[in-house]
């Protein structure tokens, strides 16, 4: 596999080939995922929950994101490395640019931001200055306290229409990738078909162009509440490498996520 870029993912979408993303937070796992062929590695602010043990992602700060991005970038050779801008690190276009520049300098090749059209000025500012952007809509965990919990978004027609509109607005502003989290399959399908850019789903059904999982969920080491959209690939995969290979294979074949992982 040669180096994955946004152009690779766009071509895969155009050719109907599904791609695989997984979160990574250190060099060793980044290398293992990269070796096995994961297309995208995300340094997610989910590290606030799975590494730091928090109830949500809100306490994660820029220094922590920079540290983990640097670690992952050292392990990744071919996979596209994307880093999250954490809570309250992108309130204005200038602040967004300063913080995105730190993540890019640490080895990210794209930054991800949660939210809708209120981010469009920042997205334009970043892309004009050479920073590729990934959007994130649906259940955006940094807004968990606005939603009143980790809840499926876009179930009623008004909300679904709103998420659809935001997706188009973000694309027009210049995002090159979109994560859609915990939305009904029908909405994910409408958005994936309407957008030129690739869409990565998590809890959005098999209809998106790619899938992403938090690595701890893919290995069944998430304690407490286990979300419906996850799968422990270690059970059939046997070991870590086998689990990653199985995840990539099932995404490519369209068998993961199955109906039991989807929301209506």
Task: Look up residue 229 and give its two tokens.
Answer: 């959209």
Q: How far is the CB of 157 from ligand KIV (least distance, A)?
A: 25
Residue found by looking up tokens 């220094």 in the block? 63
181 is catalytic: yes
CA of residue 148 relative to chain centroid, distance: 22
Per CB under 6 A, the segment of 40-48, 61-69, 153-161, 232-240 that binds ligand KIV is 40-48
Binding mask 4-23 for ligand KIV (x = CB under 6 A): -------------------x
Interaction between residue 188 and ligand KIV (CB under 6 A):
no
Cβ contact 248:240 at 8 Å? no
Per CB under 6 A, the segment of 38-46, 126-134, 191-199, 245-253 that binds ligand KIV is 38-46
Interaction between residue 212 and ligand KIV (CB under 6 A):
yes
Interaction between residue 208 and ligand KIV (CB under 6 A):
no
DSSP state of 85: P
Interaction between residue 111 and ligand KIV (CB under 6 A):
no
Q: How far is the CB of 128 from ligand KIV (least distance, A)?
A: 25
Interaction between residue 214 and ligand KIV (CB under 6 A):
yes
Interaction between residue 113 and ligand KIV (CB under 6 A):
no
Nearer Cβ to ligand KIV, position 20 or 46? Answer: 46
**Which residues, 6+ apart, have CB-to-CB distance to 154 below 8 Å?**
138, 160, 162, 163, 183, 184, 187
Q: Report how far residue 175's alpha carbon sits from residue 13's, in angstroms, rounded to the nearest whole number.
A: 15
Total residue length of the chain: 264
Pairing of strands 19-23, 210-213: parallel
Task: Look up residue 124 and give its two tokens.
Answer: 């334009």
Cα dist from 136 to 54, 70, 121, 126, 139, whole Å: 21, 22, 16, 16, 8
Interface residues with ligand KIV (CB under 6 A) are: 23, 42, 44-46, 84, 179, 181, 202, 212, 214
The residues annotated with a catalytic role in the active site are 181
Positions at the binding site for 3-methyl-2-oxobutanoate: 45-46, 84, 112
């Amino acid at each position: 596999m040669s180096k994955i870029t946004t152009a690779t993912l766009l071509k895969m979408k155009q050719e109907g080939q599904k791609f695989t993303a997984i979160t990574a937070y250190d060099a060793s796992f980044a290398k293992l995922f990269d070796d096995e062929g994961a297309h995208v590695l995300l340094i997610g602010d989910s590290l606030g929950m799975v590494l730091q043990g928090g109830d949500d992602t809100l306490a994660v700060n820029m220094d922590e994101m920079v540290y983990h991005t640097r670690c992952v970038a050292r392990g990744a050779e071919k996979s596209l490395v994307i880093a999250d801008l954490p809570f309250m690190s992108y309130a204005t276009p200038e602040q967004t640019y300063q913080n995105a520049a730190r993540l890019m300098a640490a080895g990210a090749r794209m930054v991800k931001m949660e939210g809708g059209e209120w981010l469009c000025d920042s997205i334009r500012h970043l892309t004009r200055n050479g920073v590729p952007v990934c959007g994130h809509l649906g259940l955006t965990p940094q807004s968990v306290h606005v939603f009143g919990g980790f809840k499926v978004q876009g179930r009623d027609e008004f909300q679904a229409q709103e998420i659809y509109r935001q997706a188009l607005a973000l694309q027009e502003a210049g995002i090159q990738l979109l994560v859609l989290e915990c939305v009904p399959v029908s909405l994910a399908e409408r958005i994936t078909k309407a957008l030129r850019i690739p869409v990565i789903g998590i809890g959005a059904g098999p209809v998106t162009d790619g899938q992403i999982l938090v690595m701890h969920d893919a290995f069944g080491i998430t304690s407490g509440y286990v979300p419906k959209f996850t799968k422990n690939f270690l059970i059939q995969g046997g070991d870590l490498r086998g689990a990653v290979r199985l995840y990539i294979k099932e995404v490519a074949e369209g068998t993961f996520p199955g109906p039991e992982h989807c929301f209506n």
